[in-house]
Amino acid sequence: MAKQRKLFITHAGELAHRLVRSVRPHGMIADFAKSYASRHGRMGVVDEPAHVRELELTMGREAVLVMVAEVHRLLPGALGARKGRPLEPEEVAFAKMFWPEFMTALGRSLEWPAAEVSAEREAFERDLLMYRRWTERAAFPGAPVQENGASPFHDRCALLLDSSTMEEARLAAAEFEKQLAITAAHLLGHLGQTAIAKARPASPRGSRQSSRRPRPPKKPAAARPKRRPQR
């Protein structure tokens, strides 16, 4: 089935909601904690319900930062830009409206307190810039170059997850970060897609014939009596 992308400003809120909903509650964070506990013999510690709820709030913020950084990296391509080419003027204008709307909707989905929205957003955008240094690869003009070293998610996630076994937790965080980036790309990639065509039968001629009513079979012609030879 053929697909066509058409993004609107309203998709900004939809994307923000889906990103947050994918990690909490009872989402990827909880699944990650349970998987880690089972793999490393930390059952009843890392996957304890109260600890999981805390992780969904603390690690959930870091996970969303990873996903938003990936969205920021992929957004030009989602808007139609090709590698090495800038966006068209109308695409630039749309991006300038889309991103602030997306960040505002993200604050609502993260449930920032009304009195602290400005401070929370400032802190989030500061951390987002740090994450972008590891996720963006200068694919478009003005994008920061990737620095050497590990992603900040590895240490931050490990401290929150299981500080008593940092090395194992750090390795698990690196794998989890890949899942988060893939999920973000998937959600952005399916945003604004609509079906424009359905599969057609292989033979158009056959499709026309199938739409007609079947004709009744012809009756066999009556046999003519044979003439006797004249004597």
Ranking 4-8, 101-105, 220-224 by mean pLDDT, the lowest is 220-224
Is residue 31 within 8 Å of 46, Cβ to Cβ? no
pLDDT at 162: 93
Provide CB contacts within 8 A for 195, sequence distance 6+: 1, 2, 3
- Given pLDDT bands bounded at 50, 70 and 90, which one contains residue 149? low
C-alpha 220 chain-centroid distance? 65
Q: Which residue has the higher pLDDT, 22 or 92?
A: 22
Cα-flanking dihedrals φ and ψ of residue 180, to 5°? -65, -45
What predicted TM-score, i.e. pTM, was given to this entire model? 0.75
Query: How confident is the prediction for the chain on average, in pLDDT?
Result: 80
Q: Which residue has the higher pLDDT, 60 or 198?
A: 60
Average pLDDT over residues 175-194: 90
- 212-227 tens-digit pLDDT: 555 655 555 555 555 5
pLDDT at 62 over 60: yes
Is residue 65 within 8 Å of 173, Cβ to Cβ? no
